A and B are shown apart, each in its own frame.
Chain A
């Protein structure tokens, strides 16, 4: 019986295998459109330069630079299109002619890596990667409105991120965590994910998360709405002794104030306190970082400087982005807006991301990290679409 099935359906089996194995997501059409506009521009520039040259005018440096840039994009586009055409032909072949399908499948496998590569190359030529794309990250969580329930929710989010890191087999540390008084939630926490590139994945988590559910503490069975805020920061350097030391020294004494939390009395041999808390105040930005989890004051200070560094880097990036956006006069995209980004609706077992209008109906699998990727994937796609559209709107401004 078994044998029989095998004899009849080898192609079918193979096909199924194929369709699972190699599926290609072509580049966003608006990006292709944008790239071909660059191509047109290149043609224009070429004829302009030829004219100049004939009239003995020579090239100017600006034109040279632009020319080089347009060339590299156009080359990438051609490469990608050629690869993609070939891929489509082969796919067609598989469908049309079963006798050739095996060979075609083989060839698809062969060219597929090149296709992916040329797609990535073109993509990054058009949309440069995020400045912190290769960094590992810090996630800072705080409860928002909703009292104790918000603190419990902040704790739930922290657990969700830990579960996700676990699921991804990423190394993580809880850098600091302050429980609330009842011990059922958090007042503040910082989670470090020590995986290069994790910033790029987690960056969309920044913003206000909202929960709707009947709190465990609620006696009358009413649904409450509470919030928690998440800030994602890039880890800018190692915790390596030398590096933190060098970083500390980049600040002028009047820019920074370091407080140790032990004011009373003579100190020194008179007391053997265990309070090792450190607070940093950075005057130019107004950022304050407190750290108290370690028994070592020295370590608390090093950690605090690490967080200050991450915050300053993120601040600087945002300012730059803001400036660039003003220069381009485009609108604030919903990705950048700092209001409510996501709702966790427990009674309906649903999580909705309000930026990309994506919903998923499986609270548990998201919270335990297994399906969390679905949320990020849809945000990533959304973000790329937006950026591609912006590129189109700004044709001619480069």
Chain B
């Protein structure tokens, strides 16, 4: 990354003495100005003459690479706002992107059953619930969405987020539709009722297995949410593959896609799986997905049409 020159710093200072503090994270003066605007608009307000100090403090935190989303305590995700707090991973736009793509193909299904593993803030099932319920206003969504995470802080936050959603939409039936469970998917066995079967399992597992360059991630987001590799994809094969008709897992690289693809090809099962991968708008490999080619309740090949590229 190019160094920020003293000239740029001075220029930023002349516009606003606080801007230079934002430059290390924002890189450009334009972006720093935008972020400053967000800070001054959205920083939770207290007493009037207090606010300048709070703004200064916020900019100082940013200078130390503290994530903006932890300062403002929110991150937009699709058309909803997810509450964020330290100890839980901030939802990423890449996840938002594939999630919206999925939603556009399942929004009419009014009995959809989804399990979201490693749910964190709960952003994935909450956005799904919000979109499906508001899209199906007249027919009344009666599917089931479950989020699982090992971290109690995450589960607490996910529940808080779902309460907020309930107050936003007519939340009478939400608690019967959306549920969060604390549990360790790698080491615990009976987190989900034995007989439950899902249409889709979604998961954004910790997938980083090398050095994280960005200090705001490395120093401030929970390691439990970041570091992992093939183990979570292996876990899908070991524990979940017989309990779902399809899956979408986020990935960090093509290796993880290949790993899962090979495992599924040699899987000893009566079902045959179609497996594919999808790239994000930044042209990075971002998801691996798969669905059974027969014996499914929903038309899976239709749901995953245009989702990405099928491997064969």
**Which residues of A are at the interface with B, using a C-beta cutoff of 8 A?**
178-179, 181-183, 241-242, 245, 258-260, 262-272, 274-276, 292-299
Contact = CB atoms under 8 A, between A and B. Distances in A.
B212 A298 contact: no
A258 B281 contact: yes
Contacts of A293: 34, 37
Contacts of B214: 270-272
Interface in B267-292: 280-282, 284, 286
Interface in B27-48: 29-31, 33-35, 37-38, 42
Contacts of A294: 76
A274 to B, nearest CB: 5
A263 B1 CA distance: 12
Contacts of B284: 266-268
Contacts of B221: 272
Nearest to B306: A253
Given A242-B135, A298-B96, A272 B217 contact: yes
B236 to A, nearest CB: 18
Nearest to A258: B281
A295 B16 CA distance: 21
B266 interface: no
Contact of A298 (B16, B100, B135): B100
A267 B280 contact: yes
B226 A269 contact: yes
Interface of A is mostly: loop
Q: What 9 A-B pairs come out closest when comparing CB atoms? A: A296-B76, A260-B281, A271-B214, A274-B68, A297-B93, A272-B90, A267-B284, A268-B94, A267-B282
B286 A181 contact: no
Given A182-B15, A265-B213, A270 B208 contact: yes
Contacts, number: 97
A272 B216 contact: yes
A268 B37 CA distance: 25
13 contacts: A178-B30, A183-B15, A183-B16, A260-B93, A268-B284, A269-B252, A270-B212, A271-B214, A293-B34, A296-B76, A297-B76, A298-B78, A299-B79
Nearest to A294: B76
Nearest to A265: B213
B104 interface: yes
B178 to A, nearest CB: 19
Contacts of A241: 79, 134
Nearest to B96: A298
A84 to B, nearest CB: 52
B76 A298 contact: yes
Contacts of A297: 76, 93, 96-97
B207 interface: yes
A241 B137 CA distance: 14
Interface in B186-232: 204, 206-208, 212-214, 216-217, 221, 225-226
Contacts of B281: 258-260
**A242, A266, A295 — most chain B CB neighbours (10 Å):** A295
Nearest to B127: A298
B11 interface: yes
Given A274-B25, A298-B77, 11 more contacts: A181-B29, A245-B104, A267-B92, A267-B280, A267-B286, A268-B284, A268-B286, A269-B204, A269-B252, A270-B208, A271-B216
B208 A262 contact: no
Interface string B142-175: 0000000000000000000000000000000000
B94 A267 contact: yes
B78 to A, nearest CB: 6
Nearest to A296: B76
Contacts of A292: 34
B310 to A, nearest CB: 17
A274 B35 contact: yes
A268 B97 CA distance: 11
B45 to A, nearest CB: 17
B69 interface: yes
Interface string B105-139: 00000000000000000000000000000110000
Nearest to A302: B79
A183 B34 CA distance: 12
A296 B91 CA distance: 12
Contacts of A258: 281
A263 to B, nearest CB: 7
A268 B89 CA distance: 11
Nearest to B81: A296
A299 B79 CA distance: 7
Contacts of A263: 282
A272 B35 contact: no
Contacts of A274: 25-26, 35, 38, 68-69
B67 interface: yes
B15 A276 contact: no
A259 B283 CA distance: 10
B76 A295 contact: yes
A33 to B, nearest CB: 55
A94 B238 CA distance: 97
B250 interface: yes
A148 B33 CA distance: 18
A181 B217 contact: no
